[in-house]
Structure 1
């Protein structure tokens, strides 16, 4: 039987793709670890979804792309090319546009919440933002695939749009932030 533990990380280091050893607290490792956390949380969301099958299917595709993002973050100075591509970002943008077509337009900030799945989608948005910040930090220390950063930036917008769509479909009203002034303008 193969063992899943290697004991190579017992001293706080890990090997990234290409064999280089880095500290487990490096921004590169933090980035792909946070991407993995987000991917795992999406799995929780999907397991709770009883409706919005189109969103559920899209979340499955996002999980695949997040694995690509994690691989790219674990691969410094790729000579074979990266996995995350502009096509992934374009696909995500099309999902966002499709999702925002149904709920009424908003002009002010909203409080995360509503349907339990929508609430989880809002929480996923915050994890995506954290992953994005760590990827930026990693980019200051070494080469990264810039498409990962773009994908994570769009992904937080995706989760916002998906949460609004789920609330709309479940007849749950968005709750406006009470000290709002108009911040979004609809054309």
Structure 2
């Protein structure tokens, strides 16, 4: 259980922040950037949910995802070290649930014959924005995982990869199952 009685602590006034281990890192540290971008993804998903009154099934899926993203942030904030007690980690079952949700939404979508431009409904546009922020989070986490002594679980990377796919499919579902998709027309404005 997390208890937040005081919002400001002044401990970050020197440009550092604490990981879940208590270790202090610069606020521009790659690990801090990784879980910060995951948090940004979560915030954009929250915006998208404001526009899903007509799609409660997508909203419910996104509610689970938002909780998962806090799990993922906690996973990144506490690097796994040999000999240390196991902390909250993203599990393969969370990745598998995303895959099932993608398959569920994708089953009703019209096939694509072009790339989709971000847009259509407000929900779809926000889901596309969430997708692009999620891709940035994924790139940052992959870069972090490539660093020596910066462990990142495989399921964490897999979750972000699937999440961006989910957000794309959900954006199409929010666009009338693809009927309202805005399609790219190569060279249209030449």
Gapped runs of 5+ residues in structure 1? 181-187
Q: 159, 162, 170: which is aligned to 1:151?
A: 159
1:25 aligns with 2:28: yes
1:119 aligns with 2:122: no
Residues 1:132 and 2:132 are matched in the alignment: no
Instruction: Tell me how far apart the structure 2 counterparts of residues 91 and 76 of structure 1 sit (CA, whole Å).
Output: 24
Let me know the Cα RMSD of the aligned residues. 1.5
Distance in structure 2 (CA, Å) of the matches to 1:72 and 1:56 = 24
* 1:179 is aligned to 2:186: yes
TM-score of the two chains, using structure 1 as the length reference? 0.90
Offset at residue 48 of structure 1 (A): 2.4
Distance, in Å, in 2 between the alignment partners of 1:82 and 1:149 is 15
Deviations 1:21-79 (A, max 9, x none): 11110110001111111111211211222111000000000001000000011011253
Q: Does 1:37 align with 2:40?
A: yes
Structure 1 outlier segments of 4+, above 2 Å: none
Per the alignment, residue 167 of structure 1 pairs with: 175
Is the 8 Å Cα contact of residues 115 and 172 (structure 1) preserved in structure 2?
no
Distance 1:125 1:156 in 2: 5
- SS of residue in 2 equivalent to 1:14: strand
Length, aligned pairs only: 178
5+ residue gaps, structure 2: none
1:72 counterpart = 2:114:
no
Q: Does 1:106 align with 2:109?
A: no
Q: 1:51 aligns with which of 51, 54, 60?
A: 54
Q: CA deviation at 1:156?
A: 0.5
